[in-house]
Amino acid sequence: MKSIVGNIFGITLCALSLSVSAQNTFTDKVNPIIGTNGMGHTFPGACVPFGLIQLSPDTDTIPHNINGQYQARAYEYCAGYQYKDSSIVGFSHTHLSGTGHSDLGDILLMPFTGELKLNPGTATDPDAGYHSRFSHDTETARPGYYEVTLEDYGVRAQLTTTERVGVHKYTYPKGEEKQLILDLNHGIYNYDGKVLWANLRVENDTLLTGYRITNGWSRVNCVYFAISFSKPIIKYGYTDKKKPLYTGFWHRFKVNENFPEIGGRQIVSWFDFGTGSSDELEVKVALSAVSAGGALKNLQAKTAGYSFDQLAEIANRKWNKELKVIEAEGTPDQLTMLYTSLYHTMINPSVYMDVDGKYRGLDHEIHQAEDFTNYTIFSVWDTYRALHPLLNVINRQWNTDIVKSMIAHANQSVHKALPVWSHMGNENWCMIGYHGVSVVSDALAKGLPINKEEALKVMLSSSTLPYYDNLDVYMERGYIPLERTGNAASVTLEYVYDDWTIYQAAQAMGKKGNRR
């Protein structure tokens, strides 16, 4: 490791067991704004290492398609935020980092004052909706913390997170009505009908629960939430922007205002906390892929009794603890490049399990993890070469959990296949190869405590799916003929490499024979 990058930065790897000072010497060197302009597809918002929550501003709402017609500009918004934009549509809780296709942007909040607008508006026409202008001068982004002032409303927004909870602190102008949008229709790579269903319950005047199910890159993505407010709701309401074809007998109620439950496909809701007491509103948003009850447990487990500032400090400490694994010397720019890159290696995969060990598996069923923490967002074609080998050096526990999550994924797969590209309990089949076998083989080679027989079994089943990307002919001939596909050479090379890693694992286990 040192030999590769040490001569550039003078890096020393620190064993995690060494104690280091609590100074902000590492998080200070990270600039989350890097990669947020153009096609870097990073986000500037708050998260903790490998957390479920990436709480970040979204600056526009370009849909993936309109009536099935792909919108090329959607690609700019893979991570929701473009540095060149000068307005923000709100703060959503899930983001992909650095990907070339997209999804998520779940559960968007936007504080506002004055006139109620239930449309988001756009970056080019922010006044058409609840968008607000902002200046980068008011923006602070550091690991686990993001801050910006929303000019149109004069609201200072501060964000931090735990693994499973997004924490918002909004400071409204004195005497103004403290209002908030909760948009259950907003999403990245959105399209008409992406939200299959959204449900919202106002449990009491400081607690909401609900869920939404989307059909995007993650084919059936279930996001449950529990949202607590530091102040009581005075009044609230919703609109369903999609005219339902069937409403049954719910028309008996005025469901649009102060009615404590709603369901629909394009729900945008608003909450008014009045002008009284202080001008601050704290909002905690816990997510779960399992249930609203799971989200409530997640909410209570790690945030109860902590102030916003304490939670931001805890997030900062988590990042310092992980970033200190490399101690480097160099110019400020070199150190910023290194530590920001290191920061970017610890955003995805993300934990995908409630505090009680329950998680939603690839079979869309709820499972109980017995001996590992379940992770998701496996962009394996991007990560098999460097990320997992790096984690095997700097944090073996994480990669152990990740590899166990991948093997659980394979066992839950109807194909018995390791992840190709999967997120939120769904295989999305992006990119080529079956590089999950490389990740597992490397984990075995590096001595991670993985069940070897089980590992080899799913490596073999992953590499013998006849209906997967010309594997039938590859298994027969040992290569893919050009007549079959234009990328025959690339795919053949990927398969040959992947098979070599299976061979290495089998050989180390003393196995003989042909995988086919």
Stretch 292-321: interaction string toward a second copy, x if CB under 8 A: xx----------------------------
Is 368 a binding residue for a second copy by CB under 8 A? The answer is: no
For 507, residues 6+ apart whose C-beta sits below 8 A from its C-beta are none
CA-based nearest residue to 47, from 297, 314, 307 = 314
Is 67 a binding residue for a second copy by CB under 8 A? The answer is: yes
Centre a 10 Å sphere on the Cβ of residue 33 and count the other Cβ atoms it contains. 19
Tokens, residue 454: 């089980």
Is 332 a binding residue for a second copy by CB under 8 A? The answer is: no
Nearer to a second copy, 239 or 412 (CB): 412
Nearer to a second copy, 18 or 249 (CB): 249
DSSP strand E in 352-423: where?
A: 358-360, 366-368, 375-376, 378-379, 421-423
DSSP strand E in 392-432: where?
A: 421-423, 426-427
Is 65 a binding residue for a second copy by CB under 8 A? The answer is: yes
Its sign, for the CA torsion 322, 324, 326, 331, is: positive
DSSP strand E in 260-329: where?
A: 261-264, 267-272, 280-288, 326-327
Is 454 a binding residue for a second copy by CB under 8 A? The answer is: no
Question: 58 and 90 in contact (C-beta within 8 Å)?
Answer: yes
Nearer to a second copy, 30 or 184 (CB): 184
CA-based nearest residue to 157, from 146, 144, 170 = 170
Phi-psi region of 6 (alpha: psi -120 to 50; beta: other; left: phi over 0): alpha
Helix 387-394 to helix 396-412 angle (10° resolution) is 130
Q: CA 129, CA 350: separation in Å to the nearest integer? A: 32
Least distance (Å) between residue 436 CB and a second copy = 16
Least distance (Å) between residue 428 CB and a second copy = 5
Its sign, for the CA torsion 157, 160, 165, 166, is: positive
Is 433 a binding residue for a second copy by CB under 8 A? The answer is: no
Least distance (Å) between residue 55 CB and a second copy = 25
Q: CA 106, CA 278: separation in Å to the nearest integer? A: 29
Is 477 a binding residue for a second copy by CB under 8 A? The answer is: no
Q: CA 76, CA 421: separation in Å to the nearest integer? A: 20
Is 370 a binding residue for a second copy by CB under 8 A? The answer is: no
Is 469 a binding residue for a second copy by CB under 8 A? The answer is: yes
Nearer to a second copy, 276 or 481 (CB): 481
Nearer to a second copy, 147 or 203 (CB): 203
Helix 436-445 to helix 387-394 angle (10° resolution) is 30
Is 245 a binding residue for a second copy by CB under 8 A? The answer is: yes
C-alpha dist (Å) from residue 376 to 164, 334, 373, 379, 426: 13, 31, 10, 9, 9
Per CB under 8 A, the list member of 258, 310, 341, 397 interacting with a second copy is 258
Nearer to a second copy, 88 or 480 (CB): 480
CA-based nearest residue to 322, from 334, 301, 339, 299 = 339
Per CB under 8 A, the list member of 24, 71, 206, 215 interacting with a second copy is 215
Nearest-5° Cα angle at 433, 432 to 434: 130
Least distance (Å) between residue 408 CB and a second copy = 15
Is 207 a binding residue for a second copy by CB under 8 A? The answer is: no
Nearer to a second copy, 85 or 354 (CB): 354
Is 199 a binding residue for a second copy by CB under 8 A? The answer is: yes
361-382 burial, b at 16+ Cβ within 10 Å, e below that, comes to bbeeeebebeebbbbbbbbbbb
* Pairing status of strand 267-272 against strand 207-214: unpaired
Is 430 a binding residue for a second copy by CB under 8 A? The answer is: yes
Is 474 a binding residue for a second copy by CB under 8 A? The answer is: no
Is 382 a binding residue for a second copy by CB under 8 A? The answer is: no
Least distance (Å) between residue 102 CB and a second copy = 11
Stretch 158-197: interaction string toward a second copy, x if CB under 8 A: -------------------------------x-xxxx-xx
Segment near a second copy (CB under 8 A); pick from 87-95, 163-171, 248-256, 486-494: 248-256
Nearer to a second copy, 196 or 445 (CB): 196
Q: Contacts with a second copy: how many residues (CB under 8 A)? A: 55
Q: Which residues pair with 421 in a beta bridge?
A: 379
Per CB under 8 A, the list member of 117, 317, 321, 415 interacting with a second copy is 415
Is 250 a binding residue for a second copy by CB under 8 A? The answer is: yes
Is 429 a binding residue for a second copy by CB under 8 A? The answer is: yes
Stretch 72-111: interaction string toward a second copy, x if CB under 8 A: -----------------------------x----------
Is 486 a binding residue for a second copy by CB under 8 A? The answer is: no
Least distance (Å) between residue 24 CB and a second copy = 41
Residue 511 identity (one-letter amino acid): K
Q: CA 353, CA 366: separation in Å to the nearest integer? A: 10
Is 216 a binding residue for a second copy by CB under 8 A? The answer is: yes
Nearer to a second copy, 318 or 367 (CB): 367
Q: CA 26, CA 481: separation in Å to the nearest integer? A: 50
Least distance (Å) between residue 393 CB and a second copy = 32
Binding site for a second copy (CB under 8 A): 64-65, 67-68, 101, 189, 191-194, 196-197, 199, 201-203, 209, 211, 213, 215-217, 219-220, 243-246, 248-250, 252-254, 258-261, 263, 291-293, 363-366, 414-415, 421, 428-430, 467-469
